Amino acid sequence: MTPLLQVDNLRIELTTRDGVAPVIDDLSLQLNAGETLSFVGESGCGKSMTALALMGLLPEGVGRVASGKILFDGEDLTQASDARLREIRGNEISMIFQEPMTSLNPVYTIGEQIAEVLRRHQNLSKKAAWNKAIELLDAVRIPNPSARVSDYPHQMSGGQRQLVMIAIALACEPKILIADEPTTALDVTVQAQIFDLLRDLGREFGTAIILITHDMGAVADMAERMIVMYAGRKAEAGPVEQVIEHPRHPYTKGLISCVPHLIATLTEERPELTEVAGIVPSLRDFGRDQCLFASRCDRADQQCKSSRPPEIEFDDGQSSACWHAEQL
């Protein structure tokens, strides 16, 4: 089966004051229809950049795809025209954002905003689009949808606004939904609700979901496969359960040990929580020929600091870019 989305050796460069930095460096991935893939990593690891690149929305004049391919249904999105990209966006690939408070246009009612997408991509009449908007609000479990459809965004809570964003994103039953940290700005109960909804609706519409997050707990709940990103490079990839059970990259290991309930149930005695010491290197160091995690890794040796580790594939579908992967 050919994958729905295939990214080959993608390299994205950002122009900064210090020159050009590869914010995504040699990233390859595959996404099958209906599958949930998760990107994990700290802030500044290039997760959001990957998402924007998939949508063709890299910041103008600053970011560009330097090399590599993004094949969606066999079509290379890096070569597609603007008009074609606009056709795809919101219709076949859609996206929800981190900040539900500011992701909706304050001067239109939410009904108008949902209907707008439907009218653009599906040529529905005004009336039909409005009715579909009410249905969608119902589908994302907003109570009393026929009344709330004519609300303005400022009349809704953050959680509700994110539900509306999901309704907009799913309006055209896209093949891929990119969720860029959809719950970062929301409280924990709402988080659970949003994840439930994403999972259910993804299944219902057969939508593949790319979930970008730094919450390992969410990954374990939601995704089938995960990609751990570090400093613009793929650190580790594989099926979620397997990776959590047996991480083959020190960074993944560190991330997992930061989340209490992944390593212990409440009744058991809990191991001490740890942190991954240090911070992500600055953009200017991204292109170096070394393991970028070396400065924070207790296993780092001379080899780690002098050459970039290749991606080592394991038989069970896991892969890791670490010189010591086999020993882990």
Site string for another protein, 111-150 (x = CB under 8 A): -----xx--xx----------------------------x
Label the pairing between strands 176-180 and 208-213. parallel
Residues between 76 and 115 with contacts to another protein, criterion CB under 8 A: 85-91, 94-95, 97-99, 102-109
Asked if residue 231 lies in contact with residue 286, where contact means CB atoms within 8 angstroms, the answer is yes
Residue list 225-254, contact with another protein (CB under 8 A)? none
Told to check if 184 binds another protein by CB under 8 A, we report no
Shortest separation between residue 223's beta carbon and another protein, angstroms? 21
Taking the complex as a whole, the smallest distance from the CB of residue 90 to another protein amounts, in Å, to 3
Nearer to another protein, 109 or 207 (CB): 109
**In the complex, minimum distance from the CB of residue 52 to another protein, in angstroms, rounded to a whole number:** 8
Closest CA to 23 of 290, 283, 206: 283
Which two structure tokens, joined as six digits, stand for 321?
A: 């870019």
Site size for another protein (CB under 8 A)? 35
Whole-Å CA distances, 232 to 48, 107, 108, 228, 301:
10, 37, 37, 10, 21
Which CB sits closer to another protein, 73 or 285?
A: 73
Beta-sheet strands, E only, within 91-224 = 93-96, 176-180, 208-213
* Near another protein by CB under 8 A: residue from 57, 273, 277, 279: 57
Check the CA dihedral 189-195-198-204 and report its sign: negative
Torsion sign over Cα 132, 136, 137, 138? positive
Interface residues toward another protein, by CB under 8 A? 55, 57, 60-61, 85-91, 94-95, 97-99, 102-109, 116-117, 120-121, 150-152, 154-155, 165, 168
